[in-house]
């Protein structure tokens, strides 16, 4: 028998002795103390004006695919509540007691905020190691743009160090059978989404404003809190899932591999992606697009476990067929990047020419301002009013304004996390104050130095349409590259 007493048990004892504040905090939790569904702070709706950090911690259901908590490490500081409520606009924006679901969009911002490491991503490292060791499986990995400017931090490199080619070398050394670039499928997303936007502007005006759909945290937020706007969401799958569906169809066919023998892994800056891969709507012909997601942090653990040091590993190139990318695909990792990339290609679709220089370095949509506004004049289409929003609490305020006054924008980009994917909940934790700006600067540097800046100029994208998808929004493209959404409102209200 152990005499060990956890920090939390200790606090409960203190609470029992009537110490003000801690008593309120610990006594305010009911039901299963495991941190699962029942662990809801009663005092959230109780009387009194206790500061937010005494109101408890976020509730995490045991079947949450994105995050989990080790109660032994929790110091009941309330920082997770601060992030969930004030940055993400989730905690507190639903009535208590909870109805059928613990509200969580899987963003992982609480994992970044948690000072004791109690909340982490739900790890899939062992699943991926087992897949690599299984000779009957062809294990394919893809890497998101934001991970290329952050993984180095886990290996002591300068914030914002650009390590894309080193990451590819490390993944090949780790035993993956093919390494593809999510920037490629970001280019594919732009081909589909720019076509869809131009179609909506001209022929389906009731679907304007067009809301982007590549961020799974934002999509789930919309499904929970603004289901009446779901028909405005782009039907495009995220770049991760466009890549997954393309690997298990086009690539499988080309390589003569059965889709069921392919394991698709992604390296993402994001914990909400772990929820996204399990969505029923993201299956084609009974095959899940994606199998496992590792966060940037998890990849660092996996590489260290395999004895691979990013500082010394040899650089390598992405594999062909799904490995070429343009600057437009690369800027998906920063807030405003999807918009800038989409406008570059929408301009081309409308005019047949590439956009002028100012649209290739479009300052109004760049930077960390909570809501950025811009307008682009596209010959033949007119002036398009655009908003870019990051951080879901900002989204909540913007969407409430739209509900009240209507939308003055035709296109709105939403990213759940502050700064976009570079600030994702699966990114390395950092004490550098301007870490997000440093990562963003690295992304735009990559864009500037790219030989091609527009998604439609990607030669592998041109080939895949020629050989497989035909054209954007074709029947085949709709089957593999587009999706639908689920109204989750009634689960909370
Ligand atoms: S993952 Fe995001 S939504 Fe879920 S509890 Fe954490 S901060 Fe809140
Ligand atoms: S931030 Fe971490 S340590 Fe603090 S209350 Fe939340 S889970 Fe516990």
Q: To test ligand 1's pocket by mutation, which of 68, 82, 83, 109 has the most ligand atoms within 8 angstroms of CB?
A: 109
Dihedral sign for Cα atoms in the order 281, 285, 288, 289: negative
> How high is the pLDDT of residue 95?
83
Q: What is the mean pLDDT of each run of 10 residues along the chain (493 residues)?
A: 45 36 34 39 45 66 94 89 94 83 96 96 98 98 97 96 97 98 95 94 90 97 97 97 98 97 98 97 95 98 98 97 91 94 92 92 94 92 94 96 94 97 97 94 94 94 96 98 97 92
> Does the beta carbon of 443 lie inside 6 Å of ligand 2?
no
| In a domain? residue 114 | yes
> Does the beta carbon of 77 lie inside 6 Å of ligand 2?
yes
Q: Ligand 2: distance of its center to the CA of 58 in Å?
A: 8
Which of 121, 151, 172 is the C-terminal boundary of a domain?
121
Q: Which residues contact 434 (CB under 8 A, 6 or more apart)?
A: none
> How high is the pLDDT of residue 77?
87
Which of 88, 121, 154 is the C-terminal boundary of a domain?
121
Residue 353 to residue 369: CA distance in whole angstroms: 31
Cβ-contact 236, 192 below 8 angstroms? yes
User: Residue by residue, what is the 3-state secondary structure of 78-94?
Assistant: CHHHHHHHHHCCCCCCC
Same domain as 283, residue 391: yes
Which tokens is 72 given?
């032994």
DSSP string, 178-243: EEEEHHHHHHHHHHHHHHHHHHHHHH-GGGPSEE----HHHHHHHHHH-GGGGGGB--BPPHHHHH
Which tokens is 14 given?
């203190």
Q: Ligand 2: distance of its center to the CA of 1 in Å?
A: 28
Residue 257 to residue 137: CA distance in whole angstroms: 10
Same domain as 33, residue 143: no
Query: Judging by DSSP bridges, how do beta strands 292-295 and 371-378 pair with one another?
Result: unpaired
> Does the beta carbon of 216 lie inside 6 Å of ligand 2?
no
> How high is the pLDDT of residue 205?
85
Q: Ligand 1: distance of its center to the CA of 105 in Å?
A: 6
> Does the beta carbon of 35 lie inside 6 Å of ligand 2?
no
> How high is the pLDDT of residue 55?
54
Same domain as 405, residue 464: yes
Residue 31 to residue 376: CA distance in whole angstroms: 54
| In a domain? residue 1 | no
> Does the beta carbon of 110 lie inside 6 Å of ligand 1?
yes
Which of 121, 148, 173 is the C-terminal boundary of a domain?
121
Return the CATH number at 385: 3.40.50.1780
Same domain as 285, residue 272: yes
Same domain as 181, residue 39: no
> How high is the pLDDT of residue 18?
32
In the chain, the number of structural domains is 2
User: What angle, 0 to 180 degrees and rounded to 10, lies between the N-to-C axes of helices 239-246 and 182-203?
Assistant: 110
Same domain as 230, residue 157: yes
> Does the beta carbon of 198 lie inside 6 Å of ligand 1?
no
| In a domain? residue 159 | yes
Same domain as 296, residue 154: yes
Same domain as 243, residue 215: yes
Residue nearest to atom 6 of ligand 2 (CA): 80
> Does the beta carbon of 265 lie inside 6 Å of ligand 1?
no
Q: Ligand 2: distance of its center to the CA of 56 in Å?
A: 9
Q: Give me the active site residues, please.
A: 193, 196, 214, 234, 273, 276, 281, 421
Same domain as 144, residue 89: no
Same domain as 341, residue 253: yes
Same domain as 301, residue 187: yes
Residue 115 belongs to domain spanning: 6-121
> Does the beta carbon of 79 lie inside 6 Å of ligand 1?
no
| In a domain? residue 433 | yes
For 167, list phi and psi in degrees, rounded to 5: -65, -40
Closest ligand 1 atom number to CA of residue 113? 7
Same domain as 317, residue 223: yes
Residue 343 to residue 320: CA distance in whole angstroms: 27
| In a domain? residue 71 | yes
Closest ligand 1 atom number to CA of residue 272? 1
Q: Which ligand is nearest to the CA of 122?
A: 1
Q: To test ligand 1's pocket by mutation, which of 41, 92, 107, 225 has the most ligand atoms within 8 angstroms of CB?
A: 107
């Amino acid at each position: 028998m152990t005499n060990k007493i956890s920090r939390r048990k200790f606090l409960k004892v203190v609470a029992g002795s009537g110490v003000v504040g801690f008593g309120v905090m610990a006594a305010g939790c009911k039901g299963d103390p495991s941190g699962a569904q029942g662990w809801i702070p009663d005092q959230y709706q109780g009387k009194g004006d206790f500061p937010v950090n005494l109101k408890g911690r976020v509730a995490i259901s045991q079947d949450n695919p994105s995050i989990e908590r080790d109660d032994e490490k929790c110091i009941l500081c309330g920082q997770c509540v601060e992030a969930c409520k004030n940055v993400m606009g989730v905690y507190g924006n639903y009535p208590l007691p909870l109805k059928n679901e613990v509200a969580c969009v899987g963003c992982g911002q609480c994992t970044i905020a948690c000072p004791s490491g109690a909340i982490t991503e739900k790890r899939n490292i062992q699943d991926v190691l087992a897949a690599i060791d299984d000779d009957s499986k062809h294990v394919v990995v893809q890497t998101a743009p934001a991970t290329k400017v952050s993984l180095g931090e886990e290996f002591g490199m300068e914030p914002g160090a650009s390590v894309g080619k080193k990451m590819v070398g490390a993944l090949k050394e780790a035993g993956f059978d093919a390494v593809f670039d999510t920037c490629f499928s970001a280019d594919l997303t732009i081909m589909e989404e720019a076509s869809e936007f131009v179609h909506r502007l001209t022929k389906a005006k009731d679907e304007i404003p067009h809301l982007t759909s590549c961020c799974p945290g934002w999509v789930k937020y919309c499904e929970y809190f603004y289901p009446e706007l779901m028909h405005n969401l782009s039907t495009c799958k995220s770049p991760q899932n466009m890549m997954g569906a393309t690997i298990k169809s086009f690539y499988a066919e080309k390589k003569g591999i059965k889709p069921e023998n392919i394991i698709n892994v992604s390296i993402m800056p994001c914990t909400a992606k772990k929820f996204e891969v399990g969505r029923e709507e993201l299956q084609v012909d009974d095959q899940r697009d994606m199998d496992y997601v590792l966060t940037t942090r998890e990849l660092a653990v996996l590489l260290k476990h395999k004895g691979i040091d990013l500082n010394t590993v040899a650089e390598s190139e992405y594999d062909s067929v799904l490995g070429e990318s343009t600057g437009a695909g690369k800027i998906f990792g920063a807030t405003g990047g999807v918009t800038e990339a989409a406008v570059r290609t929408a301009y081309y679709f409308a005019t047949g020419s590439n956009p002028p220089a100012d649209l290739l370095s479009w300052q109004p949509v760049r930077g960390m301002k909570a809501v950025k506004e811009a307008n682009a004049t596209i010959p033949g289409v007119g002036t398009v009013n655009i908003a870019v929003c990051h951080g879901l609490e900002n989204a909540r305020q913007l969407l409430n304004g739209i509900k009240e006054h209507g939308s003055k924008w035709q296109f709105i980009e939403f990213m759940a996390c502050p700064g976009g994917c570079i600030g994702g909940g699966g990114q390395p934790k950092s004490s550098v104050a301007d870490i997000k700006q440093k990562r963003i600067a690295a992304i735009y540097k990559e864009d500037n130095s790219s030989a091609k800046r527009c998604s439609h100029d990607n030669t592998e994208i041109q080939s895949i349409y020629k050989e497989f998808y035909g054209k954007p929004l074709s029947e085949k493209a709709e089957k593999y590259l587009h999706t639908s959404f689920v109204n989750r409102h009634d689960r909370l209200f």
